[in-house]
Amino acid sequence: DTEVTQTPKHLVMGMTNKKSLKCEQHMGHRAMYWYKQKAKKPPELMFVYSYEKLSINESVPSRFSPECPNSSLLNLHLHALQPEDSALYLCASSPQAGTSYEQYFGPGTRLTVT
């Protein structure tokens, strides 16, 4: 199974809501990533987990809170978001952290903050 799944596909939330994005892979990968992508822009790295430990946080605001409960799951908890946080949120995984490995991407969650 070479698939990364993400749920939900679409999410609309108000600025006072709390919601979570979920990502799952069963390839035995030990690195997982969250990216944010605005329309017609490249993906921007948010977080990297390596062996379930947070290894990179790209100075992301605290209203985004990542969690890696086990080696197959990655969550992104959202709280008090702003309209400018509306974007496509992409999860990815790779066998190990490091740029000599290809990354496998999920289809993304399209988030709209109202």
Partner 1 sequence: SQQGEEDPQALSIQEGENATMNCSYKTSINNLQWYRQNSGRGLVHLILIRSNEREKHSGRLRVTLDTSKKSSSLLITASRAADTASYFCATDDVTGTASKLTFGTGTRLQVTL
Residues lying near partner 1 in the complex (CB under 8 A): 4, 31, 41-45, 48, 50, 55-56, 88, 90, 92, 97-100, 102-108, 110
Shorter beta-carbon distance to partner 1: residue 79 or 110 = 110
Shorter beta-carbon distance to partner 1: residue 16 or 59 = 59
Closest to 95 (Cα-Cα) out of 71, 74, 73: 71
Shorter beta-carbon distance to partner 1: residue 62 or 100 = 100
Minimum separation from the CB atom of position 60 to partner 1 (A): 13
Q: How far apart are CA 99 and CA 82, in angstroms?
A: 31
Minimum separation from the CB atom of position 90 to partner 1 (A): 6
Helix (H, G, I), strand (E, B) or coil at 110: strand
Minimum separation from the CB atom of position 16 to partner 1 (A): 27
